[in-house]
Structure formats: C-alpha cells, structure tokens
Chains A and B, each alone.
Chain A
C-alpha cells in the first residue's frame, strides 16, 4: 500500500499542477443556461406571482418555506450551475474516453481535487470578510517541507505530523492576520508579502534538497494512500473540513459575523462586532487549513521539493470566485467554493484525457474566472433592481 504513492509520486506531481486549473466547453455551456432560469424566476416574482415559485431542487434547509428569499435562489442557482457544468464535463469526458471514470479514474479525480478543495474552504472564509490570502500556496510548500524534514528517518505518527503542519500554518496565518486586522494594511499587500517571505524561508531552508518518500514513515504515507470502503482518506478529510466550515459559517454567530463584516464593515463596527478579532481568526483558520494541506501533501506524495504548491494561491482564489464567493465579501458558501475547486481540477484532468493541449488550460481557467466575476456583477445589479422593484410594488 505504501509502495503505491511512491511509485506514482513523480507522475502525480507532474500532472497535479496542470490539472488544478483549466476548463472546457462546459463553462460556457454551464454558465449561460445557469443564468436563464435564475432570470426567469426573478421576472416571475416581479410580476406579482409570489405564491408559486418552483422550489429549488437542492435540498432545502430545515425551515424550508415555500417563499425562499430571492438571494437564496441565486446562491443555489450558482451552486447548481457549477454542479451541472461539472456533471456535463464528467459525462462528456467519460463518453469520449470511458477509462476516465473507471475505479482508478474516480480515485484520481477525488485525490487530485481534495487538497485544492481544502484550501478553497480556508480561502472562502477569508474572502467572505472582504479580504484575501495569497500566501496559502507558500504555506503549503513550507509546511510540506517542514513536516517532511521533521518525520524523515523517524517513525512519528501521522497525527503528530498533521498537528505540526496545522501549528505552522496557524503561525503563518496569524502573522498575516495581525498585519491585516490590527496593522490595517491592505490584505492584498500583506499576503503577497507573506507569499514571498514564506517562499524565501522555504527555499533557504531546503537549499535545493528534497524530502524522499523512502524516508517518510509508513504511518504518514498511509494517510495519503489509505482508504475506507474504497474511498481514499484525503477526500474524506476534505469533505469533513468542508462540512464543518459550512456548518460553522451558517449556524454560529462568529460565522454570520464574518458575512456581516464583508457585507458592510462600517455597519459591522456599529453592530459591535469584534471585526479585528474575527478577521484575525479567519486568517488563522486559512493558515491552519493551508498547514493541514501541507501535511497531507507530504502524506500523499512523499517526495517533496521546496516549491511544492508554488503558484497555487491563484488557483485557490479562482476556485473560490468561480464557486460564487464574491471577491467583495459578504456573499457565497464554502460548498460553492468546493464545487469551483472540483470543476477546475476535473477540467484539468478532462483536458489531459481528451488530449487537449495544456496551453489551453490556463486560458480556459481565466475565461471561467472572468465569466464568474461578470456573472456576479450582472446578477448583483439585477437582484438589486429586482428587489427594489418588489419593494416599490
């Protein structure tokens, strides 16, 4: 079992990065129809027929009343459209090449996306507060390498390794968070600086060395390759973190306050929300998740070089934005962000399977990102005017 990752590592490493970004016909196909139903619902509601709106297919929450708020519909529509695009993409690729969805294919898809999904969950929490964390890629690289050199040639347990990764990640997150929340330095600048600082530390430390999978204890590698009922640990871990984060954001005061801060910082201040503490916590969480991801990176690949996950921050931010978390804060869910991450990863894999030139992958990611932001803007304007009209009726 532990041999498997070792054998696959180099190949995996190579295909992982390209796989993390890109897209195909589905984005265009997925985004456009997604807008239509949404729009139709608005107009129907505008015209005064408020009684019967088809309830959204996604599972309604506990207090599922017939008249869901308009914005809930929009959110759900966003998640649905991405889910739909994902489905179309997977089915299309499968039809073109059935081996895409055999046992190994599915396992690869899940494994390839789980670290990105994890990072997207952490990033969303920060983006919801109208901030950004560009240092996650570097944090993953640093913690992966740090955990690697910590366990190399020892028999430390997976748990110790993960805790070390999380601890290191929290530390990085706290530095960024303190500068942003208490230092009042714009998040973009702070985390860009942190990106280079952490990268620098990592490179200086690694000094061109790499962690070899053969030195990593089996217990740690088992975390990356083991599975329950045929499902690898990694996606299960991501799903658990995702569910926990979503639940917290939805049902706890602290979570709602993050949305409030992103939605209107001035109002949040007047409502007595401890803004600085919340933003600091958001960064610490993002850092913790990135550190966790670093430990998992080591567990999965065994062989780690200093620039692991280099450049991932942009992929993560893209996933989050494509997934419907507004870059201006206050809007979006981690589920959407996770779907965005899944979409980007799957698209990368699909393009490889379909033998599309990898040059296109980045371009398609870019197009998808622009489409997402444009959609956000348009939906935002339309919603506002639709709501305004309703309140004037």
Chain B
C-alpha cells in the first residue's frame, strides 16, 4: 500500500494503469485508490487523461497494462455491465439517455425489477423512480420521456440512475458543469449522504472550490501521467493549479500586445429559437475575443450561425461592413470568415484523406482552373502551411487520421488560415491536445491577432480564456450575459456569469 495514513482498505484501486489509443498515450502508469466513505477528487487540465481513467474504471476501456483492484482483488471488467454489477456507478460529462424512453425506463434499463416469469414489474419501476425523485428533491414525472429534458434534469436522471443501485463507488465526471448553484448544493448533499453511508466517491470538476468543498483527497494528472495523490487538508487552490499545470500560467499563455483596429465582425441580435437568443457583439481587427460559458450554453451554436452552418431565425451578421447572407458558409468564406469547428474528427477533417488534400479543400477553386485541381499547387499550399505551423508528419500524402490530436488540429488551422481570412473563429481550439502543442496553438493565435486578424474563440478551458482573450463574452442558457474586458475577467467573474449568478451585470446589448 503506497498510501500513507490509510485506515480502511481501498474499495476500488487502479495500479500502474497504462492505456494508448493508436499513437496517443492517454494514460501512463497511473495509480488511484478510492476509500469507502471518502470523496476523492481527480484534478487535471483538459486532455490530462481524466476521462480515459474514468472509462477504465467503468469498464468501457480495458487498460493495456496495470490492474484494477476491487476490494484488493484484481478484476477485469469486460464491459460497462461488469463494472455496474461490481457496484460502480458512473455519471458521464454528457448525459447518456434514451430520448424515446421514459425517465423510469432510463434509470432501470437492463435491471428492471421483475415479477414472476421474468416480466418487468412496471409498478415497482415507477414507484422506485418516484422515490428516487423525492430523495433528490425534484419534481419529475417518472413516465415523462427523456426527450427534451434540460441538461440539469438529464443530469438528475443520471444521478438517480447511480443512486438506484446503491453504488459502492460513485464516479462523477463534471456533474456540476451545467447545474445552477442550488442544484449543485442539492447534488452535494446527496453525495455527502452517500459518502457517509460508506460509498467511495470519485469527483471531477474544473471548479476548484467545489473540489475543496466536497473532497478529502485529490489525485492530480498531467498529460496522462500521475503527479500526486494527497489529502486536500494542507493544500491551497494555487498548489493544486501548480500541480495540474506544472508551470506558470504566464509562460503558458504568451499574449502579445496588439493594436486594435476597426470592426471586422459585427453580430446583431442573432437568434435561433430554443438555442440562443438576441446575441449581439463585435470583434475588431487584432483582437482575440473569447466566448465563454458552460457546456450547452449555446456558444458553438452561435458561431455556427455566424458562419452560416446553421441558419439563424433572426438577426444579422456583418463582416467588414457588409451584411452576410444568412445560412450560407460559402458567403461567409467569400467574405473572409473561417471557422475551425469543435469536433475536428467529424467536422474539421476528412479523416481518410491526406494532409495535402485536407488543406487544399478550402481553396479548390484557386488550385487550378477549369474545374481541375493541380496537384502541384495543392502540394505547395500544404507544404507552406505545414512549415509555418511546424506540423509533425511523415509524408504529406499520409491520411490525417494517423496524426496525433494536436497535429490534426494544426491541419484544420492550416486549412482555414490558407483561405487568408479576416475573421478567424475557433471553437475549442485546444480540446484534447497535449500541452506542448496547446502552447503552440496559443502562440499562433496570438501572433495572428498581432498581425491584425480578428479572432473569436469559443473555449471551455478557463485558464485559456483568461490567458488569451482581450475581451471575454459570457453566455448562459442561450443568452449573452456578460462582457468582461481582460482586466476584469477572472475565474470568479467568468464562472459567476456563466452559471447565471449575476445575470444583469455588464450585459452586452
């Protein structure tokens, strides 16, 4: 037992776990010990390997090396059902519900109480669900469909699911990301009750104060490696951040001074029913504007409407003073707008196509004439940008799928920068890429802004928002609730606005 001051034996432990996905090493020699009656925090930046760790505990991934120990005995989980049967409940970051089934069915799917002949005891399912809802203090009809539930309510259903089988280990991956203050408080009281009942809790949150409020012990990961496991008692928030980041923030976010020019992008009263409403803002030349907010606040939807991927129901987008035709990415591109999407595998790249083909995609009309594409021009364009962005690759004719996440992101950036945009919109530009490449992307964005490019950046990574942006726009439930200049933007002010705690303040009209 490499843990000091261990009273009871760990109920669930990972020892020297390693896991790779292709060439990407997601976890390397990570150990974790969960004790009954204790809430354990898992800290680390985005991409540090937290989600992979959780999925290993949940039986979704099987580790390449290392052991999972349940009550000290090595176990192998062949699937999520095995982990569940071992008493491990997992609440994922994004709720995984069946939209066409009722809440009650969602909670008890696969383990409904049964009567004789193996029939489902509907009455018992209904009753148990109603009891769970009462216990959680929410008013949700068990027979209601999961379709159309708000994210908070979906999260409640997930929590009820975990509660329903008296889990010995409760794993929560950012359960509070979309919850309001009171919902979070209610969740915490439920978690405390569970913990006092002897359950082990593994808790992930990007809100440090929540970690300190709820947990006794913390394990920190950085770049897929174990950094420290310790009691939270003697730690400060700064200590924790230092362990997570491993270096000073200033060094990590190389913000260059820029001269702000005229308005490049102006969005007026943009609305998409049920998604976002009345969103207005401007981005000027040489400026990096961050669009912050919680998952599901509607940020990606806003930038997609600006670029014309989704058609807005109302409102206008002006680029360089010209009004943009709504719902037309072609018009947006012609006006000099570029959008680096959030999901690079699905929307940013053609994974099976080569690096040069991907970079060439945005400029096919300029790479030849008469509808033909000249390979030499395509290759030249790709080579230029590969050098400029220090892309690490074998051959330009390799499929993008074989590159690491960071290099894939560089290809997406290259693809769009090659269009020589006036406005660059980046959606989660550094999600899931390693710290080194992350810093390169930040440096690149900074220098592009210094050259006069207008940058609009959607990011859930708070240090990134604070480190990079000249101005921070904060969205909450589909509305723009705050506009903070760089000097006023702190973790507290941004989070407060994002969780709707100061709805009126500085609202951009």
Contact = CB atoms under 8 A, between A and B. Distances in A.
Given A272-B79, A385-B274, A259 B100 contact: yes
Given A264-B99, A384-B148, A385-B148, A253 B84 contact: no
B65 interface: no
Contact of B92 (A257, A270, A331): A270
B100 A331 contact: yes
A58 interface: no
Interface string B35-67: 000000000000000000000001010000000
Contact of A383 (B79, B83, B105, B147): B147
A253 B114 contact: yes
B280 interface: no
A272 B89 CA distance: 12
B100 A257 contact: no
Contact of A271 (B109, B120, B141): B109
A127 to B, nearest CB: 13
A387 interface: yes
B112 A256 contact: yes
B185 interface: no
B274 A259 contact: no
Contacts of A31: none
Given A62-B122, A251-B120, A385-B274, A260 B145 contact: no
B163 to A, nearest CB: 15
Contacts of B240: none
A257 B111 CA distance: 10
B122 A260 contact: no
A270 B79 CA distance: 8
Contacts of A25: none
Given A69-B144, A266-B96, A387-B145, A392 B150 contact: yes
Interface string B88-119: 00101000111111100100011110100011
Residue in B60, B112, B148, B149 with the greatest tally of chain A CB atoms within 10 Å = B148
B98 A388 contact: no
A41 interface: no
The B interface is mostly helix, strand or loop, or mixed, namely: loop
A287 interface: no
Contacts of B141: 67, 69
A391 B109 contact: no
Contacts of A268: 98, 109
Nearest to B161: A271
Contacts of A63: 122-123, 126
Contacts, number: 116
Contacts of B102: 69, 71
A392 B102 CA distance: 18
Contact of A263 (B83, B101, B111, B144): B101
B96 A253 contact: no
A257 B106 CA distance: 10
B109 A251 contact: no
A267 B143 CA distance: 19
Contacts of B144: 69-70, 387
A273 B97 contact: no
A267 B148 contact: no
A326 B100 CA distance: 11
Nearest to A332: B100
Residue in B58, B81, B98, B150 with the greatest tally of chain A CB atoms within 10 Å = B98
Contacts of A71: 100, 102, 145, 147
B97 to A, nearest CB: 6
A269 B80 CA distance: 7
A50 B102 CA distance: 18
Interface string B120-155: 101100100000000000000101110111100100
A253 B143 contact: no
B313 to A, nearest CB: 13
A273 B109 CA distance: 8
A274 B148 CA distance: 27
A41 to B, nearest CB: 15
Contacts of B96: 264, 266-267, 270-271
B81 A70 contact: no
Contacts of A385: 148, 274
A256 B119 contact: no
A384 B147 contact: yes
Nearest to A380: B147
29 contacts: A67-B141, A69-B143, A251-B120, A252-B118, A252-B120, A256-B105, A256-B109, A256-B112, A257-B110, A263-B98, A263-B101, A264-B97, A267-B98, A269-B79, A270-B80, A272-B83, A272-B84, A326-B100, A330-B100, A330-B101, A331-B100, A383-B147, A384-B148, A386-B148, A387-B145, A387-B147, A387-B149, A391-B149, A391-B150
Task: List the 7 closest pairs (A to B, CB-CB), nearest first.
Answer: A272-B81, A387-B148, A267-B96, A330-B100, A263-B98, A263-B100, A388-B148
